[in-house]
Structure 1
């Protein structure tokens, strides 16, 4: 089919198999809904069983086939097993979205070294292990694939309020994306990241409220955002579908900032 006659076909992921970790978290739930609505078959992974059941049911209601796995990608064997379960259930793996991770906020002299290590492990090492496992399967299939990591504007910018671990972890995530983009490019596997700034989620809901504290914090933040508003979940839909589909076949090693222009100025 000539994509110029039907350009929307470039964004078609119907029937593709997508493994999403952190599927019960803010970004993971968005990714699950988007890919379910687009017709992908899903392997949803999360440590919170109740939330996993809820997002799995929601995706099934959208018409998606769903395999739900209640675990966290904490070591090499679990990451490899997740890919194996995806292949056992659906025969292949086309898309990996790593939305799992964590943040611990503390000033440097108040942060224990083990806390710093825990954030780096959750955000960097686990992303690397998942990408490693997925890339092996995608290379064996010989048809390319899509790996999408979740970074942050904090991978590029610092923060004055105790974000040394988080900023370092997201900068390292960006490094993985760039290095793997180069390494896996010849195989047809693309590796990219979506890097949001503040967007609406259970953790940030207070910033959207009409309270004195929220108004003050929001005003300070919005002074740096050219679009003049905070992010909404649907702002992540287009970037994710682009990076998960054939539309992004020539794009790899990129950090796509979903930030309303926050990092531009």
Structure 2
């Protein structure tokens, strides 16, 4: 008589994160708010952080409407004490740490010959140092408790490809994000913590809404960009939801140190 593993009777169970405790930073931004909503809809318990209190509460309300238990921490992950406070808030509220999604970050484009060191360091701090600090605070608590966990960083197609519009700081920061992903994937494998990154290209959000409009400027910019995207369209929020859920769930237990490009094939060519 043929015996089947339990998961074969319900392969979708591999993506089940109901009850998991997920910390999402940058929850007021485009990716962070989307990640929060996806995890809420999947049944996770959430700790959401952002510096913008009003936008943070809007995201929290959306997640609560989706049925999630939500704790908010109005802090940006700029210092060791900020990151410690975020992780401690999760443990205080829910008694566990299972998932970290680093959705916070920024860009400040300028030609390198015009960009100040202060502006460069701001981008690097926002995209690299804060992610490093969050991972350290998360890892210190998870490793000491001996539990399995998932970390998802946010990279970009620009971590692999350059850009002519003054992206020397941003491209460098996202390449560093990819390096951090690989390094921690190797370092934390023995602890059962997977570390991966999602690297989107342009997807629909308040910041990019203009590229989806039907006017002369948007049409010209979009046509030029799509000429380099094999799937021939811009990204939609649901294009990021699937990879995110995969990387946060048991389905990705044998995947670590990877950067997953959600870009319609943009970086493949």
Q: TM-score range by the shorter chain?
A: over 0.9
Alpha-carbon distance, 1:211 to partner:
1.0
1:151 pairs with 2:155: yes
Q: Separation in 1 of the partners of 2:237 and 2:66? A: 17
TM-score (norm 2): 0.97
- Confirm or deny that 1:186 pairs with 2:196: no
Gap regions ≥5 residues in structure 1: none
Of the three residues 231, 252, 262, the one matched with 1:248 is: 252
For residue 23 of structure 2, give the secondary structure of its aligned residue in structure 1.
strand
Q: Extract unaligned runs of 5+ from structure 2.
A: none
Provide the alpha-carbon RMSD of the alignment.
Answer: 0.7
Matched with 2:80 is 76
1:137 deviation in Å?
A: 1.4
Could you list the per-position Cα deviations for residues 80-118 of structure 1 after superposition, in whole angstroms to 9, with x for gaps in the alignment?
A: 111011000000100000000110010011111110000
Distance apart, 1:252 and its partner CA? 0.1
Distance (whole Å) between structure 1 residues aligned to residue 141 and residue 8 of structure 2: 31
Give 1:50 shift: 1.0
Q: Which runs of 4+ in 1 moved over 3 A?
A: none
Instruction: Report the TM-score when normalising by structure 1.
Output: 0.99
How big is the shift at 1:21? 0.3
> Aligned pair count?
265
Question: How much has 1:5 moved relative to structure 2?
Answer: 1.3
Aligned to 1:2: 6
How big is each residue's C-alpha offset from its partner over 1:44-93, in whole Å with a ceiling of 9 and x where there is no partner?
Answer: 00111111111101100111000011111111111011101100000010
Deviations 1:167-205 (A, max 9, x none): 000000000000000000011000000000000111111
Residue 261 (structure 1) aligned with residue 269 (structure 2) = no
